[in-house]
Structure formats: C-alpha cells, structure tokens
A = this chain, B = another copy of it.
C-alpha cells in the first residue's frame, strides 16, 4: 500500500521554504512517502489574509532574519538572503508547473535549483530570463521553456494551485499537509517526522 503523500506547499521567495526544501525529500524517503511539491504565490494568499512578508515587520523581521540563519546553521544548509530579497516568484512557478506536467522529477530538480540559486548562490531568479536560465542549465531547451511557461494552461495551473492551497488552509510557506493534517513552518519538520513515525496523536 503506498503511503500518504506529503503535500509540500511553498513560495519560491520564502527563505523558510528553501530551508524546508533541503530536508523534506529525505523525510519523505524515510517513511516511503511521495513528496508532492506545490509552489504557490503567497502574495496572492496574503491579499486574503491581510498578512505581509515577515522580513519587513517591526520586531518580527529582525527575529526571523536571525532565526533563518540559526536554523540554516543547525542543519548545515548554506543560506543567505539574496540582494534582491524579497523577489517575485511567478516565473519560477510557471516553469515548475510546465515541467511538472510531463516530468515531476524534473520539476522538483528545477525547484531545488531555483531555491539554491536564490538562497545559496545569491543569484537573481525573479525575472523571466533569470528563471529560464536556471532551467536551461538543467538541460531544458531555452525556446521550449520560454514557450511552455507562457501557455495559458500553465498560468491557469498556477492560479488553481494557489487557490487550492488557500482552500486547504495554506497561509504561509512552507506548509505541509499529511492526510489532511496541516503543519505550518520549517520549524515543524521534526514534528512532521514524528507524526509520520507515530501515526499521529
């Protein structure tokens, strides 16, 4: 019997999403769970919830900057906020969903590459050309990516995934759902692991 998938919602411009992305696959593998990577546009969800990005907030911003660095150190993950932070993630999302349609593994590899470009290599990924270059480096044809990411069906998929995420209660990044059970935040990955290990409580 296949295990319940881990639904992994994230925004490509989310530092905590990046930190989770470096650990979630090994947690999935440990419990033989498929990890269902689902990038979405958190800015769209923030319009409904009235939230704003963490880093600019009074008191919360400085704390979370410190905490991101501390969390990265703890798990040995290379991390720095890129110069252009916060950045737009729509083009990276569209390329992801274009790849995902025919090859989910390629989409996941692209997601890792975007996250590492932004948060480990301080490379810009916000503009369409930036995001396309990351895909090209993974072996995808520039013309195919450029055309694919502009397909109406791809744009619609991203809108749908973002709306579906919100309907499932997703309000932050990363956000994980296991058999309907929601876990918000990179700092809940160890709890996700416990949940899978014990079957919940």
A54-72 contacts to B, CB under 8 A, are 57-60, 62-63, 66-67, 70
- Asked whether, in the complex, the Cβ of A62 is within 8 Å of the Cβ of B169, the reply is yes
Asked if A110 is an interface residue, CB under 8 A from chain B, the answer is no
Contacts of A190 in B (CB 8 A): 190
Q: Mark A25-66, 1 if CB is under 8 A from B, else 0.
A: 000000000000000000001001111000001111011001
A interface bracket (residues with beta carbon within 8 Å of B): 20 to 34
A45, A74, A166, A188 pick with most chain B CB within 10 angstroms: A74
Partner of A59, one of B57, B58, B74, B166: B166
Closest Cβ of chain B: how far from A97's Cβ, in Å?
23
In the docked arrangement, what's the CA distance between A67 and B187, Å? 14
Asked if A115 is an interface residue, CB under 8 A from chain B, the answer is no
- Asked whether, in the complex, the Cβ of A58 is within 8 Å of the Cβ of B50, the reply is yes
Chain B residue at smallest Cβ distance from A62: B169
Closest Cβ of chain B: how far from A73's Cβ, in Å?
5
- Asked whether, in the complex, the Cβ of A184 is within 8 Å of the Cβ of B48, the reply is no
Contacts of A201 in B (CB 8 A): 70, 73-74
Partner of A63, one of B48, B58, B169: B169
Known contacts A49-B58, A187-B188: A171-B70 contact under CB 8 Å = no
In the docked arrangement, what's the CA distance between A45 and B60, Å? 11
Chain B residue at smallest Cβ distance from A182: B63
In the docked arrangement, what's the CA distance between A67 and B184, Å? 9
Chain B residue at smallest Cβ distance from A48: B58
Contacts of A188 in B (CB 8 A): 187
Contacts of A66 in B (CB 8 A): 182
Closest Cβ of chain B: how far from A95's Cβ, in Å?
27
Asked if A191 is an interface residue, CB under 8 A from chain B, the answer is yes
- A residues with a Cβ closer than 8 A to B are 45, 48-51, 57-60, 62-63, 66-67, 70, 73-74, 166, 169-172, 182, 184-185, 187-188, 190-191, 201
